[in-house]
Chains A and B, each alone.
Chain A
């Protein structure tokens, strides 16, 4: 149990200046190593003495994984964002704002300006869950134990999962993750065997696959960059985050969508769409069934209603989070409808 605050347990600090050196250190220390990016998730764990790594590898001195690089003419072939790029840099980058504004919108609602100045895109997608039982050091499944304290009749589970729970009901807290999934981003990982590139949606895993991690990084692996292809550049984007406080809070749920319409005026239909939500499960969910259901349909309230209903199929509420089902239904509906069809069409429904 965490009783000592603000005094970290001793560890060996490494500050490599290249990815190669960082990876060598991570391989050398294996499960005993801790990757430090912006430090905003890390220092919670370390100061609470819940996690006590023997070695901390601080990535802040590695320039090669910092900044946004455009491919082609002004990013016409996509962009690559270094994992250590701060969220503020992501929000303010002109190409991102111009062509991939969905990511800028998502990054802009992460926590507070100070946190966005320090927090990185790599850290935002790789941060651990906010389940307070887990973060308080209770021996739950995610901590290697044999129980989920949140999924009990008396458990405080208002913020927890309604979909794909498997013993653990914690959710992924990232705001940028669903935006990156909607943009069909690729995550570049340096592993012992070389570089590995995975689709954004496959970077995240649920408790059914590994109950102790939210992503696929193994000890020794390092997320170095996020590539966004030009496929969805300039598409119609929608991002909405619902949180208890309108500043500096983790999402209860968020939704991100990228949509391309075809046809003329009133005959316009949805030609291509990618939509993802986070806060509903242990991993951000790409809603493939919703995408399939709305393809070729007009963007109107009926399509939005239908999409919302499809999105929550299979949802199982816990004791205190049944509200998340209408929340998700409405968010998906708004993501479909609000993109040009008018706010009133996407009014909240219980």
Chain B
């Protein structure tokens, strides 16, 4: 049982044609296994969270009741991307598990929506948001080490509170970038093989081998996204993560949750007083959170 399906091209060359479809079930099972292992760990083995230091009453007093987290534009992007992603996954894989319908048109239309929304997101995140907020920094790596060592029962100082996004969130974003961009880039080329409104059909754009690798990469990214989306939905539904999920709907999180989980020095929240104050007056207020929060 191979991970790839191979065929012999008209020129006698052995070429991959797509992934083996049992990988769909591997991804689904992996997603469910993650739920079980993670939920079991949290329920029976995880130690209570502990963060270094405490937030000064003066800083805490400046935090509003509703801490702005995601702008309307960012939320719209997220939900449009989510809708198109679900359409893409269902139209891609339901026919492979026996639910037959006219899927190709819906698939490429959803792919076009996803591509457009991702392009918008790249521009929006690069020029209108804090680009670096979603990338791991040195403190994230240090704290990851501390949390790992402490989870193993060995002495290590507690980690700092999170910046705007916890490390897990940042790593997940990285995985989504890898899988999503792989699926999108290969998907755009694959649109040359079907009739769309965008460009003339040209099945000979690449060699059979290159096309085969493209289909394989598209398939691997697709099944990877099944597991990633399952994990994303799982975390979105977990009780302790609900404030984050709600913030993606309403745009804000509560002051209590913010103070409990986030470091005001690492994720600077724009307030009536901070917006007029110089960022340099407070340690870590580099200003990178200011544009990002709203």
Number of inter-chain CB pairs below 8 Å: 48
What residues of B have a CB within 8 angstroms of the CB of A152 in the complex? Answer: 203-204
What residues of B have a CB within 8 angstroms of the CB of A138 in the complex? Answer: 10
In the complex, whether B104 has a CB less than 8 A from a CB of chain A is yes
Partner of B18, one of A146, A153, A205: A146
Nearest A residue to B8 by beta-carbon distance? A1
Interface range on chain A: under 10, 10 to 19, 20 to 34, or 35 or more? Answer: 10 to 19
Please state if B12 and A1 are interface contacts (CB–CB under 8 Å): yes
Interface residues of A (CB under 8 A from B): 1, 138-139, 143-149, 151-153, 166-167, 205, 208-210
What residues of B have a CB within 8 angstroms of the CB of A143 in the complex? Answer: 7
Q: A138-B10, A147-B203 are in contact. Are A166 and B100 (CB under 8 A)?
A: no
Partner of B7, one of A139, A149, A166, A205: A139
What residues of A have a CB within 8 angstroms of the CB of B105 in the complex? Answer: 208
Please state if B104 and A147 are interface contacts (CB–CB under 8 Å): no
What residues of A have a CB within 8 angstroms of the CB of B203 in the complex? Answer: 147-148, 151-152
Partner of B212, one of A1, A146, A205: A146
Classify the secondary structure of A's interface with B: loop
* A-B pairs with lowest CB-CB distance, top 7: A139-B7, A208-B102, A145-B17, A146-B215, A209-B100, A146-B17, A210-B100
Interface residues of B (CB under 8 A from A): 5, 7-10, 12, 15, 17-18, 95, 100-105, 193-194, 201, 203-204, 208, 211-212, 215
What residues of B have a CB within 8 angstroms of the CB of A166 in the complex? Answer: 102, 104, 194
Partner of A209, one of B5, B8, B102, B211: B102
Please state if B194 and A167 are interface contacts (CB–CB under 8 Å): yes
Q: A146-B211, A152-B204, A209-B102 are in contact. Are A139 and B193 (CB under 8 A)?
A: no
Nearest B residue to A206 by beta-carbon distance? B102
A282 to chain B, nearest CB (A): 12
Please state if B104 and A144 are interface contacts (CB–CB under 8 Å): no
Please state if B193 and A167 are interface contacts (CB–CB under 8 Å): yes
Please state if B5 and A144 are interface contacts (CB–CB under 8 Å): yes
What residues of A have a CB within 8 angstroms of the CB of B208 in the complex? Answer: 147
Partner of B10, one of A144, A146, A149: A149
A243 to chain B, nearest CB (A): 27
> Bound complex: CA of A123 vs CA of B194, how far in Å?
31
> Bound complex: CA of A205 vs CA of B15, how far in Å?
29
> Bound complex: CA of A149 vs CA of B104, how far in Å?
19
A272 to chain B, nearest CB (A): 30
Extra A-B contacts (13), CB below 8 Å, given A139-B7, A151-B203, A210-B100: A1-B8, A139-B8, A139-B15, A144-B7, A144-B17, A145-B7, A145-B17, A146-B215, A147-B208, A151-B201, A153-B204, A166-B104, A210-B95
What residues of A have a CB within 8 angstroms of the CB of B104 in the complex? Answer: 166-167, 208
Q: What would 25 A/B residue contacts be, using CB atoms closer than 8 Å?
A: A1-B10, A138-B10, A139-B7, A139-B9, A139-B15, A143-B7, A144-B7, A145-B7, A146-B18, A146-B193, A146-B215, A147-B203, A151-B201, A151-B203, A152-B204, A153-B204, A166-B102, A166-B104, A166-B194, A167-B104, A205-B100, A208-B103, A209-B100, A209-B102, A210-B100
B102 to chain A, nearest CB (A): 4
B170 to chain A, nearest CB (A): 35
Nearest B residue to A205 by beta-carbon distance? B100
> Bound complex: CA of A153 vs CA of B203, how far in Å?
9
> Bound complex: CA of A167 vs CA of B105, how far in Å?
11
> Bound complex: CA of A167 vs CA of B196, how far in Å?
11
Nearest A residue to B194 by beta-carbon distance? A167
What residues of B have a CB within 8 angstroms of the CB of A148 in the complex? Answer: 203
What residues of B have a CB within 8 angstroms of the CB of A153 in the complex? Answer: 204
What residues of B have a CB within 8 angstroms of the CB of A208 in the complex? Answer: 102-105
Please state if A209 and B18 are interface contacts (CB–CB under 8 Å): no
A193 to chain B, nearest CB (A): 14
> Bound complex: CA of A205 vs CA of B212, how far in Å?
27
What residues of A have a CB within 8 angstroms of the CB of B8 in the complex? Answer: 1, 139
What residues of A have a CB within 8 angstroms of the CB of B212 in the complex? Answer: 146
> Bound complex: CA of A142 vs CA of B213, how far in Å?
19
What residues of A have a CB within 8 angstroms of the CB of B100 in the complex? Answer: 205, 209-210
Listed residue (A139, A144, A153) with the most chain B CB atoms within 10 angstroms of its CB: A139
Nearest B residue to A148 by beta-carbon distance? B203
Nearest B residue to A210 by beta-carbon distance? B100
> Bound complex: CA of A166 vs CA of B5, how far in Å?
22
> Bound complex: CA of A139 vs CA of B203, how far in Å?
14
> Bound complex: CA of A107 vs CA of B163, how far in Å?
76
What residues of B have a CB within 8 angstroms of the CB of A210 in the complex? Answer: 95, 100
What residues of B have a CB within 8 angstroms of the CB of A1 in the complex? Answer: 8, 10, 12
What residues of B have a CB within 8 angstroms of the CB of A139 in the complex? Answer: 7-9, 15, 17
Nearest A residue to B95 by beta-carbon distance? A210
